[in-house]
Structure formats: C-alpha cells, structure tokens
Amino acid sequence: MLGKLFLFILFQILASSSSSSEEDESSSESGNKGEHPKSSSHGHWNYLDQDAWSSDFQHCSGQSQSPINIATRQAIFDPQLPEIKLEGYDLSDSELLKLVNNGHTLQLNLPDTMRIVSGFDNIFLAAQLHFHWGTIEAPGSEHTIDNVHFPAEIHVVHYNSKYHNISEAASKLDGLAVLGAFIGIGLHENENYEKILSSLMDVSREESDTEIPGFNVRNLLPNKLAKFYRYNGSLTTPPCYQTVNWTIFNDTITVSRKQLASLEDTLKAGLDQHLTKNFRAPQLLYNRQVMSSFRAEPSSTGPQIPSYPDSDGQSKKGRTINEPAYSKEVLSRGDILAIVFGALFTVTLLSFMIYACQQRKKTLSLKKDTRQNVIYKPATKEEV
C-alpha cells in the first residue's frame, strides 16, 4: 500500500517536471512567424503579415486595438460591473446552426434569440461564435494573461439590440460585445465542444459549410461567469473597428488534447495550407484601463479555477493542463511539495533498506538454524 503511494508520488513528480519542460520548449516560440506559407487566397489579409493590415484597414493602427495582454496586477477592481446574464442560449436540436470554415476561423452562426440581458446598458444579441488557436507546439489564444497564451480562445460575438443587424452595429462605437474565454487542455473529452468538433471534417475545405443541430451553447463557456476582465477594444481581424466592449472570463474551459489537435489539424485555408495560428498578436494598451469584476488577490484554494499568477512581465507561452501557467507562487509551492515528498521517499527507502537488511539477517540465521536442525535431527531420531 505504502509502496504504491510512493510510486504514485514519484510518478506525479516526474510528470510535473516533464510538463514544465514542455512549457519551456514552447516558450521559445515567438510571434506568428512560422513555417506556414502565406495564405492569400481567402481575402486581402492573412495572419502572417499583421503589420501590413493597417495599410489597407486604417482602424488596425488605432489606439484601442484588440487583443491585449491583461496584466492582472494592473487590472482595476470595479464592484459596479454588473453580472453577465445570458438568455436563450439553450437551443433546441431541431434548430439547425450553420458551421463555416471561412478561411480565417471556424465560425458557428447563432440566432438572435440568444442574448446578453444583463451586463451592459443595452441588450446584446448573438450573431456568431468562432475560435482562435495555434499549433501543437504553440498556444494560440489572442488575449494573454500576464503574457501567457492559452492553447485556444472562443469568442461569442453579440451586437447592440438598438441596431438592426451586426453589419450595421459593427462600426458603431457601442455596437459590439464579445464574450471571450480561454480554452485549455484537460484530461477528458469535452462533450459540449464535441457538438461542433465532430463536424470539422465536413468543413475542412475553405468556404465550406454544414449544418449542426442546436445545443446548449452556454456550455461552451466556463461554468462560472462571475469573474471577468472588461475593456474597450476592437475586432481582432480587419477592418479592426474599435467598437467592441470586451469581456474576458477568468475561468477557463478545457477540451481534450485530441479535440484541440482536431481543431489544429483538420481545417484548410486555401488548397493545401492548414488553418492554424489564426491569432493576432497582443496590441498596445495606450491609455486604456482593464477593469475586473473581482479582486486580484490570488485565491489559496480552488485548483480548477486559476487565480492568475503574478508575473514580472516576461513572455512565457505555455501549453498547460487546466491552469494557464505555473506562477512563481505555485512553483515554489510545488518545490516545497517535491522536497517534502522527496524527503518522505528517502526516509521510506532507508526504512525499507533497513527492514530488508534485518530480514536478510533473520533469514540467514534461520537458515543456519535449519542447517543445525538438519545436523542434529538424525541424532535425535537415533536417540528415539
């Protein structure tokens, strides 16, 4: 029993050290420059020449661009931020939703019966959701938390109900509200994400689409929506209109490694290129402030709910399980645990060796006794 426990602990220590080395490797990834050739067949812009976007789309060089890095220490706690309440997200499976590979992302069109009824001055109606992702080597969220990318990010795009449609709203100052959440890697398949990902093969070609049955779209977002960051930003793709009221949830969602790999590997942009690394680099904050609906103190409990770690601002990109990054605090805690377990392991090993030595001695003396018995037995018999 004790042996099993220590084997388990040893395994855990080994596993954690291997996962942190994986992070170190991916941290060498820089920006969007990659091995993928330029893909220009699907429009006038692509992710490999982001610096050139502003020559065709003037808003892209504005001072309220998205995504941004969220420095958790700098976020201002605003107790007045109203809670986000969603309605109509639980769609009937008789309602068919259009799933599209538009060459830039995987997009699911949503009915305007889905809405944000609390959280903003007006009601906002859903239009579509889509994803941003990287590759197996490089995480591909758009927003970063203390300079850490997550494997992927979901955006649920809503428009202000005071406008007729999203096209009209998109260029208006109070036109859009996007709910963003980070997607991490967990141990189990996410059955809610599977409702979309199971149809990936049907939209592998650029500009292809399919229809999928409605489901509870709420389940694509984190369980708890109470903790979020809020700031004014833009569309993260051209024409980069600076009209988005951004909500980035603190809690994350997880999908399995296999599910994320299917997103990274299945879709094509153009004829022969993989649709990957469809994320824009974080933009300068300028004079904007990021508000938060919660106090930034790191919580001491709640392993599933990451309390985003402090960082000195150095860029660490990491593919992680459940949590976005290992903070210094978590690392030092991990170190302490490792030392404690290491010490326990050593003590047990020593105890085991001492025990083994004693057993050996006993066995030897027993054997001696046995031999002696063998010698004396016949004599005893003779005596009888």
- Interface contacts to Zn ion, rule CB under 5 A: 155
| 3-state secondary structure at position 254 | strand
CA 174-176-180 angle, to 5 degrees, is 135
Q: How far is the CB of 64 from Zn ion (least distance, A)?
A: 16
**Helix axis angle, 328-383 to 2-26, nearest 10°:** 150
**Cα–Cα distances in Å, from 124 out to 17, 223, 234, 237?**
45, 21, 16, 21
Nearer to Zn ion, 115 or 155 (CB): 155
Nearer to Zn ion, 9 or 100 (CB): 100
Nearer to Zn ion, 9 or 106 (CB): 106
Nearer to Zn ion, 277 or 326 (CB): 277
Nearer to Zn ion, 155 or 158 (CB): 155
Block residue for tokens 């609390």 = 118
Q: How far is the CB of 234 from Zn ion (least distance, A)?
A: 11
Dihedral sign for Cα 302, 303, 307, 310, please: positive
Which residue among the candidates 36, 42, 104, 164 is catalytic per the annotation?
104
**Cα–Cα distances in Å, from 39 out to 62, 136, 208, 237, 320?**
25, 20, 17, 15, 29
Q: Tell me which residue of 171, 147, 150, 145 sits closest to 159, measured CA to CA.
A: 171
Active site annotation includes 155: no
Q: How far is the CB of 268 from Zn ion (least distance, A)?
A: 19
**What whole-number distance in Å separates Cα of residue 362 and Cα of residue 356?**
10
Nearer to Zn ion, 155 or 317 (CB): 155
Task: Characterize 147-179 residue by residue with b for buried, 16 or more Cβ atoms within 10 angstroms of its Cβ, and e for exposed.
Answer: bbbbbbbbbbbbbbbebeebeebbeeebbbbbb
Q: Tally the residues of the chain.
A: 384
**What whole-number distance in Å separates Cα of residue 103 and Cα of residue 275?**
7
Block residue for tokens 């490999």 = 48
Q: How far is the CB of 101 from Zn ion (least distance, A)?
A: 15
Closest-approach residue to Zn ion (CB): 155
Burial of 140 from C-beta contacts in 10 A (0-12 / 13-18 / 19+): buried
Specify the DSSP element, H or E, that contains 355.
Answer: helix 328-383
Tokens of 340: 């404690």
Nearer to Zn ion, 9 or 220 (CB): 220
**What whole-number distance in Å separates Cα of residue 49 and Cα of residue 68?**
18
Q: How far is the CB of 138 from Zn ion (least distance, A)?
A: 18
Q: How far is the CB of 334 from Zn ion (least distance, A)?
A: 33
The count of other CB atoms within 10 Å of the CB of residue 335 is 10
Q: How far is the CB of 297 from Zn ion (least distance, A)?
A: 30
As annotated, the active-site residues are 104
